[in-house]
């Protein structure tokens, strides 16, 4: 019962701050440089993660921050909940996320997403979606942005990985930029299919950049997938009590 009440309190604050920050971003977008507006929205993402810790006891531990390159890269991340969609916007700022275009139609939330200049795709049209990712992703990478892709395409249940799409690896190979792999255990605290949050520690591991030199997309995708899934197994081994 306590978790239900804490989760409800979280969503009240989540919704209120979303309305404030998304409206602020939209109102200021004609007046401020794009990057400043994106910083406003990224601040909300950080606030939402902090609010989840305060209300629901969802803490996090990130290792491997030293592996994040200064320049452009393709981030291929595990996807178990909405938590990491918030994390990547401020952790890899300014980040460009590949997402399904339906999300842009959600009031306030979709407005904020648009300000990040995401790569919106129609997942029902796989061939066209890949072309959009390769074309727009290459443009973003040339501009020095980091492109974030969840290769499983949707949230996976803990311990039940989904097939990894090769699109992110293909983009990295074509653009000649490294891939940054990221594993995380968000599904243990913020599971899909329910609004109820569970207290705990989300563990995030960022791997060393994987070079694309001399590799094709299929080989690169398999290498990154194997690294992420092996880290997932390690992360879910019994842990001592965190400090």
For 75-96, how does the pLDDT look when each residue is reduced to its tens digit (9 = 90+)? 999 999 999 999 999 999 989 9
Q: Calculate mean pLDDT across residues 2-27.
A: 95
Give SS3 for 74. Answer: strand
220 contacts 179 by C-beta, under 8 angstroms: yes
pLDDT band at 208 (very low <50, low <70, confident <90, very high): very high
**Contact (CB, 8 A) for 27 and 112:** no
Question: Model confidence at 239, in pLDDT bands (50, 70, 90)?
Answer: low
Average pLDDT, the chain: 93
Please state, in angstroms and rounded to a whole number, the distance separating the CA atoms of residues 128 and 135.
11
All structural domains of the chain, each given as residue ranges with its CATH number in brackets, are 59-235 (3.40.1130.10)
Which class for 109: exposed (0-12), middle (13-18), buried (19 or more C-beta within 10 A)? middle
Q: Give the pLDDT score at 240.
A: 52
pLDDT of residue 123: 78
pTM of the model: 0.91
* Nearest Cα residue to 76 out of 203, 209, 238, 185: 209
The CA distance from 189 to 84, in Å, is: 12
Q: What does the alpha-carbon distance between residue 216 and residue 220 come to, in Å, rounded to a whole number?
A: 6
Strand, coil or helix: 58:
strand
pLDDT surpasses 50 at 241:
no
């Amino acid at each position: 019962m306590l978790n239900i009440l804490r989760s409800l309190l979280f969503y009240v604050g989540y919704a209120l701050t979303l309305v404030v920050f998304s409206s602020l971003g939209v109102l200021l977008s004609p007046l401020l440089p794009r990057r400043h507006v994106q910083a406003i929205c990224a601040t909300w993402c950080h606030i939402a993660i902090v609010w989840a810790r305060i209300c629901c006891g969802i803490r996090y531990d990130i290792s491997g921050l030293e592996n994040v390159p200064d320049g452009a890269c393709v981030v291929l991340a595990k996807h178990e909940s909405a938590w990491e969609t918030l994390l990547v916007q401020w952790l890899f700022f300014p980040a460009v996320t590949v997402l399904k275009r339906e999300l842009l139609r959600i009031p306030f939330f979709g407005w904020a997403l648009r300000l990040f200049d995401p790569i919106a795709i129609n997942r029902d049209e796989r061939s066209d979606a890949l072309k959009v990712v390769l074309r727009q992703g290459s443009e973003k990478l040339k501009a020095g942005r980091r492109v974030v892709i969840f290769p499983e395409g949707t949230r996976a249940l803990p311990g039940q990985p989904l097939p990894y799409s090769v699109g992110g690896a293909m983009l990295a190979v074509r653009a000649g930029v490294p891939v940054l792999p990221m594993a995380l255990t968000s599904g243990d605290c913020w599971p899909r299919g329910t609004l109820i949050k569970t207290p705990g520690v989300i563990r995030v591991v960022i791997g060393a950049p994987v070079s694309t030199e001399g590799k094709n997309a299929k080989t690169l995708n398999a290498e990154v997938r194997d690294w992420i899934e092996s880290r997932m197994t390690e992360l879910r081994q019994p842990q001592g009590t965190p400090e």
